[in-house]
């Protein structure tokens, strides 16, 4: 890839700053939680199951995966994202888990892969890979052709369009014109040879908007709720002007908690594929998300440190998460994910206990 343009360098620098802030935890932590702390299973003292035979496998984007887990999109400039994405690809291929890459905007604008090329598919030939573009780019010249290139670049099984209006609003360089984007997203979805998925980045996706997307034929919804990384707080940490930083920090707790978003979107969109992301920290959180209606749980910041280290570290981290999920199934008497979706709850926050 040739030397980056000025705008490309600015974007890469910003993404590297994001990664450093998140890894260093140098931002204000949200006071609100994901809501999973309010969800408790009824413990089954006599599961009558063989723990090692519990089936956590499921199907996603036409491929069988070992557990309902997705390594969600992570940020970083080209050099840094290349190393992280290759680490993720290697770990996911070993574990048979899907993964999503960070934004492909720089790679598309600069005419190179920027660490987001077909090498990822070579490393991970058998698992689902999801590409990624920002919705705001559809008002800045991107459209169906760029989306197709993003898919072809990594031989993706699907493409994320990420929705980050709050982050763009508080970011000094943010894109402020979001007019007319729904129809443009739908047009891209109709032109793609693979499914399009929509995701928030930490503010939560509401039931009403999810229903609009599913009615338009977009059936994969990543709620990416509040309670995990606050991108308003991350932006505040890199803003030098105290007034602008204060403005961003005012929105640290903004959004729909992940657990609530999952329940509400599942109720509104019974046939959608729902991904629960936003503050997912453990296999127990994954179990709760599945019980509330998610098909898959996505993790990013919770595994970023391991992903930044090595494939072995990330594999170890995910094996622990998978074992936590397996034990959660065991201690609810659930032989598989279908049974887990009917597991009994205590203090179910609006859900009625099942007999």
Superfamily of 6-346 according to CATH: Aldolase class I (3.20.20.70)
Q: Residues 163, 7, 103, 319: is their CA dihedral positive or negative?
A: negative
* pLDDT given at position 114: 56
- Which pLDDT does position 118 carry in this prediction? 83
Write down the pLDDT at residue 304: 76
* 8 A C-beta contact, residue 30 and residue 230: yes
Question: Which residues in the chain show pLDDT less than 50?
Answer: 1-6, 76-77, 352-355
Q: What pLDDT is recorded for position 110?
A: 76
CA distance 342 to 355: 10
> In terms of C-beta density within 10 A (0-12 exposed, 13-18 middle, 19 or more buried), how is residue 125 classed?
exposed
| CA dihedral over 309, 312, 313, 319, signed as positive or negative | positive
Task: State the pTM of this model.
Answer: 0.89
Burial 245-257 (b: 16+ CB within 10 A, else e): bebbbebbbbbbb
Give the pLDDT of residue 1.
27
What tens digit of pLDDT does each residue of 144-201 get?
A: 999 999 999 999 999 999 999 999 999 988 999 999 999 999 999 999 999 999 999 9
C-beta of residue 98 within 8 angstroms of C-beta of residue 297: no
* Cα–Cα distance measured from residue 276 to residue 292, given in angstroms and rounded to the nearest whole number: 10
Tell me, what's the pLDDT at 4? 36
**CA 155 to CA 142: how far, in whole Å?**
19
- CA–CA dist 145, 198 (Å, integer): 18
- Residue 65 has phi, psi (to 5 degrees) of -120, 155
pLDDT digits (tens, 9 = 90+) for 266-281: 999 999 999 999 999 9
Give the burial class of 115: count Cβ atoms within 10 A of its Cβ; 0-12 exposed, 13-18 middle, 19 or more buried: buried
């Amino acid at each position: 890839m040739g030397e980056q343009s000025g705008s490309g360098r600015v974007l890469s620098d910003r993404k590297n700053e994001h990664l450093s802030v998140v890894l260093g935890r140098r931002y204000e932590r949200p006071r609100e939680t994901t809501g999973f702390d309010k969800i408790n299973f009824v413990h089954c003292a006599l599961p009558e199951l063989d723990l090692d035979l519990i089936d956590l496998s499921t199907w996603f984007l036409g491929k069988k995966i070992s557990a309902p887990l997705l390594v969600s999109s992570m940020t970083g400039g080209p050099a840094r994202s290349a190393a992280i994405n290759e680490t993720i690809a290697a770990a996911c291929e070993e574990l048979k888990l899907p993964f999503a890459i960070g934004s492909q905007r720089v790679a598309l604008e600069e005419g190179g892969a920027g660490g987001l090329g077909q090498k990822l598919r070579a490393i991970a030939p058998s698992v689902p890979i999801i590409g990624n573009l920002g919705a705001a780019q559809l008002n800045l010249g991107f459209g169906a052709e760029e989306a197709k290139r993003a898919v072809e670049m990594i031989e993706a099984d699907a493409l994320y369009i990420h929705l980050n209006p709050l982050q763009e609003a508080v970011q000094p360089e943010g894109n402020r014109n979001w007019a007319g984007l729904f129809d443009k997203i739908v047009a891209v979805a109709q032109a793609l040879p693979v499914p399009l998925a929509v995701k928030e980045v930490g503010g939560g996706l509401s039931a009403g908007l999810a229903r609009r997307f599913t009615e338009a034929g977009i059936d994969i919804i990543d709620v990416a709720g509040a309670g995990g990384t606050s991108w308003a707080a991350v932006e505040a940490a890199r803003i030098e002007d105290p007034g602008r930083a204060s403005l961003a920090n005012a929105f640290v707790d903004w959004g729909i908690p992940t657990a609530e978003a999952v329940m509400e979107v599942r109720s509104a969109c019974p046939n959608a594929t729902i991904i629960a992301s936003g503050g997912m920290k453990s296999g127990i959180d994954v179990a709760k998300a599945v019980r509330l209606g998610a098909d898959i749980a996505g993790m990013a910041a919770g595994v970023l440190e391991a992903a930044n280290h090595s494939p072995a570290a990330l594999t170890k981290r995910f094996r622990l998460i998978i074992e936590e999920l397996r034990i959660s199934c065991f201690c609810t008497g659930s032989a598989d994910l279908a049974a887990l979706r009917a597991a009994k709850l205590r203090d179910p926050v609006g859900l009625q206990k099942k007999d």
